[in-house]
Amino acid sequence: MDYFLQQLINGVTLGSIYGLIAIGYTMVYGIIGMINFAHGDIFMVGSFLALIMVVAFGVTAAMPLTLLILVLLGILVVAMVLTSVWGWTVERLAYRPLRGSFRLAPLITAIGMSITLQNFVQLSQGARNKPVQPLISGGFTLMGGDGSDGSFVVQLSYLQILIIVVTTVLMIGFTMLINKTSLGRAQRACEQDRKMASLIGVNVDRTISLTFVMGAALAAVAGLMFLLYYGVIDFYIGFLAGVKAFTAAVLGGIGSLPGAMLGGLLIGLIETFWSGYFSVEYKDVAAFSILAIVLIFLPEGLLGKPEVEKV
């Protein structure tokens, strides 16, 4: 039971990170119907930007708590802004010129962009693992005392709380943005009918760009969280995280925001429980298999709308 609880906590934390990345996939798919294969690498870039700032500002756990939180917040904002610029540039260079081209063309450029980003970061930052010291340590012990009697200790760390809280806040904010603001309205309009939206005065190109920007900003948040949670990153993290987040988006129903969050949580839980109870080696196989199974048997996902094929 206590082992289960610990896995549950870990799974929810991991799932929050996947959910944040999955939103980027789902929004882009919703609006232009393409799989932004490079999104995982945008997440990786965000993570690296956060890492560079953490190292450059000399952020350590020894800082006073308020200062630490302020600095991390500052890093988060700057990383979000710069990663957004990356997201915008990728869209501008690789996808916009191909809008209206045949369906697989943007997917191929997306793969090219993904390779480019990975190798760019590998070249500019080096291929080795980049470890950072844990910045936020400690937490609540929920069960099992201090572990002196040999029982299993269930811990909820401050970092996990932070990740879950930040994710929840961002997701609520995001849902409001999509549902309440004029930008969200424009996005939903583009999603339904791009031509019609442009006829009634929606700047379609700008809306699509902003979608990429928002997705990239959320990926940057996920990048910082990933860095804090695992303490080590390399240029290749984007591939696996990207595929898992994409799985999450598909599982939840691609194009649906709540679906992405739900899918992220589920994938996080499945992965943690799989490695907790079965085998760690095959945890990536689990994610990939779920992707294949969901796509084959439930292509519209849990919360998605069935797609109507139009001639």
Whole-number minimum distance, CB 231 to another protein, in Å? 11
Q: What's the sign of the alpha-carbon dihedral 271, 272, 273, 277?
A: positive
Whole-number minimum distance, CB 165 to another protein, in Å? 27
Whole-number minimum distance, CB 33 to another protein, in Å? 8
Q: Which residue, 119 or 203, is less far from another protein as judged by CB?
A: 119
Total residues belonging to the chain: 311
Q: Which residue, 60 or 179, is less far from another protein as judged by CB?
A: 60
Rounded to whole angstroms, how far apart are CA atoms 59 and 67?
10
Whole-number minimum distance, CB 216 to another protein, in Å? 12
Q: Which residue, 46 or 167, is less far from another protein as judged by CB?
A: 46
Q: Which residue, 125 or 155, is less far from another protein as judged by CB?
A: 125
Whole-number minimum distance, CB 210 to another protein, in Å? 16
Q: Which residue, 129 or 179, is less far from another protein as judged by CB?
A: 129
Rounded to whole angstroms, how far apart are CA atoms 227 and 56?
15
Parallel/antiparallel/unpaired status of strands 139-143 and 130-131: unpaired
Q: Which residue, 229 or 246, is less far from another protein as judged by CB?
A: 246
Backbone conformation region of residue 128, classed left if phi is above 0, alpha if psi is from -120 to 50, else beta = beta
Footprint of another protein (CB under 8 A): 34-35, 45, 48-49, 51-53, 55-56, 82, 85-86, 89, 93-94, 97-98, 100-105, 107-109, 111-126, 128, 130-133, 239, 243, 246, 250, 281-282, 284-285, 288-289, 291-292, 295-296, 299, 307, 309, 311
* Nearest CA among 88, 107, 15 for reference residue 45: 88
Rounded to whole angstroms, how far apart are CA atoms 175 and 86?
23
Whole-number minimum distance, CB 244 to another protein, in Å? 10
Rounded to whole angstroms, how far apart are CA atoms 130 and 80?
20
Beta strands in 213-277 (DSSP E): 232-233
The phi and psi torsions of 157 (rounded to 5 degrees) equal: -80, 160
